């Protein structure tokens, strides 16, 4: 069936400016980390992407190794771009990354100029694009000079293969150093992507400050803590859930202490007429440095539930104190 975009897709999405740049991003971005690849039905993946676009989500977050297998998420998204979204390329922000193991040998991992630029070329081929909007160094590499890694991002921009450079998983000091190198090269840092949620507030220990001082913005991943910050595990562990299938969440993580905090947060959300996921997303977006939260979705229904976070009631000081008490 031919896709026809909803003409009202921009009417209600409150876009935010990414730092001091001219780029506007939606408060929720669609990540293709764990729900896209060859093990999922293509039509399900297509339906999620197209519904996100119709809802005003213009930013799609990928990486070279997203799948399974690695590279498959880019291939799936490239297929959707080539058909359904080809006419809308200039309305879409596509991000990809390199920094983790992608191919065997000494040139398929970490942060060398060789790896980053080769990986970007491979990503562009899988996506069927001449350029991506944002290209990230996915993780710091302490064995490679930071000047080399940031120089590779600058080269990607100068060659027209990316519009903006970005970093992910960097600590505060290295973020400041990377931002300074990029600024000196005339390609200022656009985004830093840290893991941030009610269960992981580590970016508050300097990273968000460094991002703000650089004039960049944070776009956070795992805002729902791999599904812990939902009601999914309150009645046990569902078959096929991430606690069973994912390398990033295990049954052993679902301790009574964790679940008691989830129950307390769920009760707070229910009093507000929200789901716990909506409250958790709204909480990370409360920080003005955070331009967007990356959400995954295994179904259109799940995507639409998360979209409810955008219109949630105000987070008052009393509510924030109650959240802190529930986590204590």
CA–CA gap between residue 186 and residue 203 (Å, rounded): 26
Residue 160 forms part of a structural domain: yes
pLDDT of residue 244: 42
CATH number, residue 149: 3.20.20.100
How do strand 24-25 and strand 16-17 relate by DSSP bridges?
A: antiparallel
User: Residue 217 and residue 281: Cα distance in Å, rounded?
Assistant: 17
Q: What is the pLDDT of residue 315?
A: 97
Residue 66 lies in a domain: yes
User: What is the predicted pLDDT for the residue at 250?
Assistant: 64
- Residue 211 domain-assigned? yes
Is residue 242 packed enough to be buried (19+ CB in 10 Å), middle (13-18) or exposed (0-12)? Answer: buried
- Residue 1's pLDDT is 80
Number of domains forming the structure of the chain: 1
Q: What angle do CA 99, 102, 104 make, to 5 degrees?
A: 120
Q: Classify residue 238: in a domain, yes or no.
A: no
For residue 213, is it within any domain?
yes
pLDDT value for 243: 45
Q: What is the pLDDT of residue 246?
A: 55
**Cis peptide upstream of residue 69 (ω within 30 degrees of 0):** yes
- Which of 50, 53, 77, 74 shows the shortest CA–CA distance to 64? 74
Single out the residue of 99, 185, 167, 96 nearest to residue 132, CA to CA: 96
> Rounded to two decimals, what is the model's pTM?
0.94
Query: Which residues, in sequence order, are CB contacts of 132 under 8 Å at separation 6+?
Result: 94, 95, 96, 120, 123, 124, 161, 162, 163
Whether residue 307 lies inside any domain: the answer is: yes
Residue 277 forms part of a structural domain: no
The answer for residues whose C-beta is within 8 angstroms of residue 79's C-beta and 6 or more apart is 42
Instruction: Write out the chain's pLDDT in tens, 328 residues.
Output: 899 999 999 999 999 999 999 999 999 999 999 889 999 999 999 999 999 999 999 999 999 999 999 999 999 999 999 999 999 999 999 999 999 999 999 999 999 999 999 999 999 999 999 999 999 999 999 999 999 999 999 999 999 999 999 999 999 999 999 999 999 999 999 999 999 999 999 999 999 999 999 999 999 999 999 889 998 777 656 555 454 455 656 676 778 888 999 999 999 999 999 999 999 999 999 999 999 999 999 999 999 999 999 999 999 999 999 999 999 8
Domain with 168 in it? 16-227+286-314
Phi, psi of 265 (to 5 degrees): -65, -35
Name residue 135's beta-bridge partners.
96, 165
Residue listed under structure tokens 């200022």 = 188
Contact (Cβ atoms closer than 8 angstroms) between residue 201 and residue 207: no
In a domain, 297, yes or no: yes
């Amino acid at each position: 069936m031919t896709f026809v975009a909803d003409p009202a897709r921009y009417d209600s999405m409150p876009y935010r400016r990414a730092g001091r740049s001219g780029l506007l991003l939606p408060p929720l971005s669609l990540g293709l980390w764990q729900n896209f690849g060859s093990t999922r039905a293509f039509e399900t993946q297509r339906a999620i992407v197209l519904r996100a676009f119709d809802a005003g989500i213009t930013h799609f977050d990928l990486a070279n190794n997203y799948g399974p297998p690695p590279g498959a998420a880019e291939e799936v998204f490239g297929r959707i771009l080539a058909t359904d979204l080809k006419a809308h390329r200039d309305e879409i922000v596509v991000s990809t990354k390199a920094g983790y193991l992608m191919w065997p040998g000494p040139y398929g991992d970490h942060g060398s100029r060789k790896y980053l630029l080769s990986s970007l070329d491979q990503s562009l081929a899988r996506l069927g694009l001449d350029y991506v909007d944002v290209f990230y160094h996915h993780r710091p590499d302490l064995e490679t000079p930071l000047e080399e890694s940031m120089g590779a991002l600058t080269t990607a921009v100068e060659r027209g293969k990316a519009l903006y450079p970005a970093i992910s998983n960097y600590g505060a000091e290295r973020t400041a150093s990377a931002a300074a190198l990029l600024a000196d090269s005339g390609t200022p840092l656009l985004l830093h992507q840290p893991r941030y949620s009610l269960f992981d507030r580590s970016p508050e220990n300097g990273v968000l400050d460094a991002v703000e001082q650089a004039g960049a913005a944070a776009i956070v991943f795992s805002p729902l803590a791999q599904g812990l910050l939902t009601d999914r595990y309150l009645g046990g562990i569902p078959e096929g859930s991430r606690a069973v299938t994912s390398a990033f969440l295990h049954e052993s993580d679902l301790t009574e202490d964790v679940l008691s905090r989830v129950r307390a947060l769920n009760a707070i959300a229910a009093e507000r007429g929200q789901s716990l996921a909506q409250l958790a997303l709204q909480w990370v977006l409360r920080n003005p440095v955070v331009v967007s939260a990356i959400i995954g979705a295994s179904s259109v229904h799940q995507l639409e539930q998360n979209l409810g976070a955008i219109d949630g009631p105000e987070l008052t000081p009393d509510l924030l104190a109650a959240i802190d008490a529930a986590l204590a």
